[in-house]
C-alpha cells in the first residue's frame, strides 16, 4: 500500500488565501479509480496500491492549479511505500493511538 501526503502552494495569487485553488485541485482527483484521499489542514493524504495512481493524482492537482491561471506552484510530496503488508491510513492512526497514554 502506498500513502502520500501532498501539499500544494500556489504562488503569486491575488490574495493570501489559497483555499479556492486547493479545493479545485482536490476536486480534480475525486473520480480517479483506485485512489482514496483524506484532507487535513496542511495537505491531502493520497492512498493507492499503485504508485502510478499517486503520480496521476499529483499531476492532476498541479495542472488544475496551473489551469486556473497560476504560473508557479510549489509542491511537497512525501511518499510511504510499503510492500510487506497492506496498511490503510486509518490503521496507521489507530496504531499510533494505541501507543499513547
Q: What is the CATH number of the domain that holds 49?
A: 3.30.70.930
Strands ordered across the beta sheet of 43-48: 36-40, 43-48, 2-11, 72-81
Residue 67 parent element (H or E): helix 51-67
The pLDDT of 30-56, averaged and rounded, is: 97
Considering the chain, what is the average pLDDT of its residues? 95
Angle between helix axes 51-67 and 19-27 (nearest 10 degrees) is: 130
For residue 11 the three cell numbers come to: 504562488
Lowest mean pLDDT among 42-46, 54-58, 87-91: 87-91
Q: How confident is the model at residue 85 (pLDDT cuts 50, 70, 90)?
A: confident
Q: pLDDT at position 45, please?
A: 97
30 pLDDT more than 80: yes
Q: Is the model's pTM score more than 0.85?
A: yes
Measured in whole angstroms, the distance separating CA 25 from the mean position of its chain's CA atoms is: 9
- Short-list 87, 11, 12, CA closest to 49: 87
Domain count within the chain? 1
How far apart are the two ends of the chain, measured CA to CA in Å?
Answer: 28
Q: What residue has cell string 499513547?
A: 100
Domain span at residue 95 reads 2-99
Amino acid at each position: 500500500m502506498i500513502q502520500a501526503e501532498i501539499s500544494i502552494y500556489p504562488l503569486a495569487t491575488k490574495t493570501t488565501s489559497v483555499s479556492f485553488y486547493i479545493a479545485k485541485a482536490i476536486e480534480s482527483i475525486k473520480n480517479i479509480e483506485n485512489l482514496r484521499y483524506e484532507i487535513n489542514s496542511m495537505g491531502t493524504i493520497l492512498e493507492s496500491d499503485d504508485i502510478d495512481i499517486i503520480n496521476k493524482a499529483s499531476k492532476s492537482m498541479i495542472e488544475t492549479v496551473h489551469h486556473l491561471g497560476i504560473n508557479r506552484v510549489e509542491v511537497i510530496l512525501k511518499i510511504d511505500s510499503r510492500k510487506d503488508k497492506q496498511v490503510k491510513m486509518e490503521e496507521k492512526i489507530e496504531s499510533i493511538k494505541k501507543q499513547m497514554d
